[in-house]
């Protein structure tokens, strides 16, 4: 569309000119860009199209002179120049022209609405995350499907060998688990004999087996603050337009895989080649290690959000965009959330190296002062109840398991297995153990290994796994 020799797109050209204050002649690769007008969005521009910066180049002052169609629109552009230097500057400024209807506003408002009846103590939060579903890029059809808050992880002594706890209660991780809850509900609609029910599902059945998202169904993640790990650590508060300054930054451990530390909120680079923690070690007081949110999101950009279990039924589900509230630097986010995995290589059919559109929020919520609350809240569209999880125990306050724990979600999986169509013919018996069910998703597992190897090969460290014992429980119906 906007590549050299192709039809010019005046709006994009205008936006790029505004975003671009570098000498002409450099090639800009737009990964994903979309432009929205008033109530709806235009078709997204093709990913990876080369685009030459127009000349003469304008400065920010020229924003006022952009084509009138841009008034009241938000323009999000994300790409790189040369070797990984970013061209995302235009994004915040132009995005600021139309904050309402944005993904961040939808999530923040919904969070306020669903936590209205909570005690002030439980409504208090340091980080909020949410997943929004759209049909195409039409903002009018946007719907929040999963919400969460939280910044802490379980303490090691509460690990469960029955899958009864939620280990990681950082908002974005809980939002993904709440999203899994939503995906199960959508698949369960296909169990019904009534055609109307399966027609309501976001999934359609494939002739060759399994299910795929209906055309045009897109998902967007909002996190109120930069994901912990490398995204937050190396994210300057101010966007710098100096292309050369970043070269001189200290780069040791830049882009390195990092882990959350138990009962704290910071992260440290992964140590050594050992990728597995031991159950007895953790019970004896060894620190429980959990991968940072930056790394987990990076992983979703290759493996999808659906995880191993749902991969038996559905094609990978990727994020169309990620919107970050405070402490963001979209260029750096792009580096750590997608560019780091360039070496992942060829992926099997339906998997891809997803490069979501990345965006910041111009009027991000101010940082919440005070200590982080030891609770995490989760909400899923369609279920009235809000759930509060104690982040130290990984269970509900009453001691019962969360609806998002491995045990409860895998029970839903077991009820579907054998009754719903799978993507590859099932080898026979229903797995009896949780770990078997996960390992049975062969393609997913091989892509995961490919991703871990890519991180190692890039010198970014080894992905650390939880003790295997926590996956060795019997599936229940
Ligand atoms: Zn985190």
Q: What are phi and psi of 15, to 5 degrees?
A: -70, -40
Which of the four pLDDT bands, split at 50, 70 and 90, describes residue 366? low
Taking the alpha carbons at both ends of the chain, their separation in whole angstroms is 51
Query: What is the Å distance from ligand 1's center to 297 Cα?
Result: 10
| Model confidence pLDDT, tens digit, residues 239-253 | 333 334 444 444 556
Identify which of 17, 196, 172 has the alpha carbon closest to the alpha carbon of residue 107: 172
Query: What is the Å distance from ligand 1's center to 296 Cα?
Result: 9
Query: What is the Å distance from ligand 1's center to 224 Cα?
Result: 11
Which of the four pLDDT bands, split at 50, 70 and 90, describes residue 349? very high
| Model confidence pLDDT, tens digit, residues 122-164 | 778 889 999 999 887 666 678 999 999 999 999 989 999 999 9
Plot region of 97 (φ>0 → left; ψ -120 to 50 → alpha; else → beta): alpha
Higher pLDDT, 42 or 11: 11
Query: How many Cβ atoms from other residues are within 10 Å of residue 212's Cβ?
Result: 18
pLDDT of residue 365: 65
| Secondary structure element (H or E) that encloses residue 217, with its range | strand 217-225
Mean pLDDT of 3-30: 37
In sequence order, the β-bridge partners of residue 395 are 390
Using CA atoms of 166, 171, 172, 178 in order, give the dihedral in degrees to the nearest 10: 60
Identify which of 233, 240, 237 has the alpha carbon closest to the alpha carbon of residue 255: 233
Handedness of CA 241, 242, 243, 246 (dihedral sign): negative
pLDDT of residue 323: 84
Is it the case that residue 34 has pLDDT exceeding 80?
A: no
pLDDT of residue 122: 79
Helices (H), 317-433: 330-337, 406-416
pLDDT of residue 234: 65
Average pLDDT, the chain: 76
pLDDT of residue 384: 81
Query: What is the Å distance from ligand 1's center to 431 Cα?
Result: 32
Higher pLDDT, 391 or 119: 391
Higher pLDDT, 88 or 465: 465
| Model confidence pLDDT, tens digit, residues 417-426 | 989 999 988 7
Identify which of 314, 293, 292 has the alpha carbon closest to the alpha carbon of residue 304: 314
Query: What is the Å distance from ligand 1's center to 67 Cα?
Result: 40
Query: What is the Å distance from ligand 1's center to 232 Cα?
Result: 9
Distance CA(141)–CA(154), nearest Å, equals 36
Catalytic residues: 172
| Model confidence pLDDT, tens digit, residues 51-66 | 333 322 232 222 222 3
Query: What is the Å distance from ligand 1's center to 350 Cα?
Result: 28
Mean pLDDT of 99-106: 65
pLDDT of residue 247: 44
Helices (H), 62-170: 89-95, 103-114, 120-123
pLDDT of residue 94: 36
Is it the case that residue 76 has pLDDT exceeding 80?
A: no
- What predicted TM-score, i.e. pTM, was given to this entire model? 0.80
Plot region of 340 (φ>0 → left; ψ -120 to 50 → alpha; else → beta): alpha
Query: What is the Å distance from ligand 1's center to 228 Cα?
Result: 4
Distance CA(279)–CA(470), nearest Å, equals 8
pLDDT of residue 241: 37
Query: What is the Å distance from ligand 1's center to 420 Cα?
Result: 34
Query: What is the Å distance from ligand 1's center to 414 Cα?
Result: 30
Higher pLDDT, 205 or 330: 205
Residue count (the chain):
477
Helices (H), 252-339: 279-283, 293-303, 307-311, 330-337
| Model confidence pLDDT, tens digit, residues 178-219 | 999 999 999 999 999 999 999 999 999 999 999 999 998 989
Query: What is the Å distance from ligand 1's center to 110 Cα?
Result: 21
pLDDT of residue 373: 87
């Amino acid at each position: 569309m906007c590549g050299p020799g192709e039809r010019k797109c005046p709006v994009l050209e205008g936006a790029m000119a505004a975003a671009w204050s570098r000498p002409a002649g450099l090639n800009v690769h737009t990964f994903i860009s979309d432009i929205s007008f008033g109530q709806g969005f235009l078709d997204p521009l093709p990913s990876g199209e080369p685009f030459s910066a127009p000349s003469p180049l304008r400065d920010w002052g020229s924003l006022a002179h952009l084509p009138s169609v841009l008034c009241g629109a938000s323009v999000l552009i994300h790409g790189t120049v040369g070797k990984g230097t970013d061209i995302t500057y235009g994004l915040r400024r132009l995005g600021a022209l139309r904050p309402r209807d944005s993904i961040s506003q939808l999530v923040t408002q919904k969070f306020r609405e669903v936590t209205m009846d909570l005690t002030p103590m439980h409504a208090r939060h340091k980080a909020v995350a949410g997943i929004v579903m759209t049909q195409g890029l039409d903002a009018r059809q946007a719907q929040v499907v999963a919400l969460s808050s939280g910044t802490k992880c379980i303490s090691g002594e509460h690990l469960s060998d029955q899958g009864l706890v939620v280990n990681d209660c950082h908002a974005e991780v809980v939002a993904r688990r709440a999203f899994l809850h939503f995906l199960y509900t959508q698949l369960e609609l296909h169990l019904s004999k009534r055609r109307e029910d399966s027609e309501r599902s976001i999934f359609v059945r494939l002739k060759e087996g399994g299910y795929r998202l209906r055309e045009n169904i897109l998902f967007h993640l909002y996190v109120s603050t930069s994901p912990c790990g490398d995204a937050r650590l190396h994210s300057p508060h101010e966007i710098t337009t100096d292309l050369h300054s970043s070269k001189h930054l200290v780069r040791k451990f830049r882009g390195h895989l990092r882990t959350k530390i138990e009962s704290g909120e910071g992260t440290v680079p992964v140590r050594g080649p050992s990728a597995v923690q031991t159950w007895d070690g953790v019970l004896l007081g060894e620190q429980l290690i959990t991968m940072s949110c930056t790394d987990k999101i990076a992983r979703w950009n290759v493996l999808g959000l659906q995880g191993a279990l749902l991969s038996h039924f559905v094609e990978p589900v990727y994020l169309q965009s990620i919107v970050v509230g405070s402490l963001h630097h979209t260029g750096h986010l792009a580096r750590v959330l997608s560019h780091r995995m360039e070496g992942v290589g060829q992926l099997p059919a339906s998997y891809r190296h997803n490069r979501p559109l990345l965006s910041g929020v111009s009027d991000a919520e101010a940082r919440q002062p005070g200590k982080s609350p030891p609770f995490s809240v989760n909400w899923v569209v369609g279920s009235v109840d809000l759930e509060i999880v104690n982040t130290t125990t990984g269970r509900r306050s009453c001691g019962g398991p969360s609806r998002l724990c491995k045990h409860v979600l895998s029970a839903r999986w077991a009820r579907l297995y054998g009754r719903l169509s799978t993507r590859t013919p099932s080898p026979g018996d229903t797995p009896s153990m949780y770990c078997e069910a996960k390992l049975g998703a062969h393609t997913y597992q091989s892509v995961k290994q490919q991703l871990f190897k890519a991180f190692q090969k890039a010198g970014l460290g080894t992905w650390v796994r939880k003790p295997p014992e926590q996956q060795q429980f019997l599936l229940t119906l």
